[in-house]
């Protein structure tokens, strides 16, 4: 199973034996019991180092145990895989909430959930002489659980690296792990790896950090992992059951479902509102077009010659280019905004505006007028106003 030794302010947790250290409920419970002793036995600043005997750090879930349930009903319901996954998520939560720095001294193969166990530590040191880091789910035909991918994404460098870990199932050596930002340092042998971990642990414990504050900071850094630990999902399964409970605040699956439903509802409402907005804008455009058409139809005035004259058009209408006229006021005059408070102009005022002096501004209508009265910005025309005097 595992042993726990204390060396000054350092705790060394070792997975014992020469087997593959498969993660089943028995081994997971043994590790969690050791972490409870670490928690209760630390009286000040400390650090945890996790290592293993033999050629494996951990070869992942004990799938042989998980898939050999003698009860057909329990087997059909994946009771053992879900129980194993729930316990493993509790183990990860315990490591995240541990009030001290944690170091994984990987001296053998770490695959699948065993790789996840190593990534659950703050630092990962690895031996060059033996072992791979390997997320094997793709090769063995299982979907990686969301919580395990969240852990990979949080601890493995740029997207290209975690893509190679998850979507290429690369077997990662110590040197490659350093290049990809997964491994903090690579060492010649298992013994040197453990010695380097002890030195690093001593340096970290010597900083005398507040353990509770350290754990709180770690939870913040791994917030996505903490949230994903609430899922009941296991390897190859989408997850259906209740949330795991740990020392962390439990994240209820039902609450997550409600969040997704709420987001879906908001997206639907947003789409409806956008459709209504587009429809409203289209209706407004139709109304504006109708007003412009009404003004054009009612307008029978044409300006010609040196003096303005009123000519009634019977057979054709003239477009005065309303859409091209943005401002007929002088550039030095104060701009007046057209609002609902503007009153409809009288015919006399409209006439004055249209025959305003060319000296103030050229309206491209070739109108000459000696009237010195300053040009006034016309009020917005209502649909009842006409340009016929």
**pLDDT tens per residue, range 255-291:** 333 333 343 444 444 444 455 444 445 544 544 455 4
Question: Is 324 found in the same domain as 198?
Answer: no
**DSSP H/E element including 50:** strand 47-52
Distance separating alpha carbons of residues 139 and 48, to the nearest angstrom: 32
CB atoms within 10 A of CB 77: 14
Q: Check: CB of residue 223 under 8 Å from CB of residue 71.
A: no
Are 27 and 125 found together in one domain? Answer: yes
Q: Same domain for 202 and 313?
A: no
Whether 223 is covered by a domain: the verdict is yes
Specify whether 234 is located in the same domain as 324. Answer: no
CA 227 – CA 117 distance, rounded (Å) = 17
Give the list of residues 6+ apart from residue 182 with CB closer than 8 angstroms, or none: 119, 124, 133, 155, 156, 157, 161, 165, 172
> How is residue 329 written in tokens?
């006021």
Closest CA to 238 of 226, 225, 253: 253
Residue 243 belongs to domain with CATH number: 3.90.226.10
Looking at the domain assignment, is residue 162 inside a domain? Answer: yes
Over residues 225-246, the mean pLDDT reads: 61
Residue 259 in any domain: the answer is no
**Domain count along the chain:** 2
- Residues 213-236 have a mean pLDDT of 88
Q: Is 78 left (phi over 0), alpha (psi -120 to 50) or beta?
A: left
Phi first, then psi: what are they for 36, rounded to 5°? -65, -40
Residue 223 pLDDT exceeds 90? yes
pLDDT in tens, 284-342: 454 445 544 544 444 444 334 444 443 333 444 444 333 333 343 344 444 334 443 44
Query: What is the domain range of residue 43?
Result: 2-251
Q: Does residue 216 sit in the same domain as residue 329?
A: no
Residues 101 and 199 in one domain: yes
pLDDT-derived band at 233 (thresholds 50, 70, 90) equals: low
Is 196 in the same domain as 60? Answer: yes
């Amino acid at each position: 199973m595992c042993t726990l030794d204390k060396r000054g302010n350092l705790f060394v947790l070792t997975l014992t034996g020469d087997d593959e250290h498969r993660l089943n409920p028995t081994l997971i419970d043994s590790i969690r019991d050791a972490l409870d002793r670490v928690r209760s036995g630390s009286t000040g600043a400390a650090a945890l180092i996790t290592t293993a005997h033999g050629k494996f750090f951990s070869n992942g879930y004990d799938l042989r145990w998980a898939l050999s349930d003698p009860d057909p009903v329990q087997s059909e319901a994946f009771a053992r895989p879900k129980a194993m996954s729930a316990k493993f998520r509790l183990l990860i939560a315990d490591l995240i909430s541990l009030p001290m720095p944690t170091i994984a001294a990987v001296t053998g193969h770490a695959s699948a959930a065993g790789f996840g166990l190593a990534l659950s530590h703050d630092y990962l040191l690895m031996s060059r002489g033996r072992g791979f880091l390997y997320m094997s789910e793709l090769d063995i035909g299982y979907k990686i659980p969301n919580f395990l991918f969240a852990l990979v994404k949080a601890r493995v460098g740029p997207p290209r690296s975690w893509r190679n870990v998850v979507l290429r199932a690369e077997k990662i050596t110590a040197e490659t792990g350093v290049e990809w930002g997964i491994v903090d340092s690579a060492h010649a042998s298992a013994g040197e790896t453990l010695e380097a971990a002890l030195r690093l642990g001593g340096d970290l414990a010597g900083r005398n950090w507040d353990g509770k504050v350290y754990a709180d900071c770690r939870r913040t850094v791994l917030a996505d992992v903490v949230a994903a630990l609430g899922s009941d999902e296991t390897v190859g399964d989408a997850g259906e059951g209740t949330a795991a409970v740990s020392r962390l605040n439990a994240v209820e699956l039902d609450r997550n479902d409600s969040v997704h439903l709420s987001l879906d509802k908001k997206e639907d409402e947003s789409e409806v509102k956008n459709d209504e907005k587009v429809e409203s804008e289209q209706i407004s455009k139709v109304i504006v077009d109708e007003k412009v058409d009404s003004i054009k139809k009612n307008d029978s005035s044409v300006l010609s010659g040196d003096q303005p004259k009123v000519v009634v058009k019977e057979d054709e209408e003239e477009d005065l280019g309303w859409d091209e006229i943005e401002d007929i006021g002088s550039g030095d005059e104060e701009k007046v905004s057209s609002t609902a408070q503007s009153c409809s102009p009288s015919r006399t005022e409209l006439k004055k505006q249209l025959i305003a002096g060319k000296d103030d501004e050229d309206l491209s209508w070739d109108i000459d007028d000696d009237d010195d009265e300053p040009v006034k910005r016309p009020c917005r025309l209502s649909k009842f106003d006409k340009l016929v005097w």
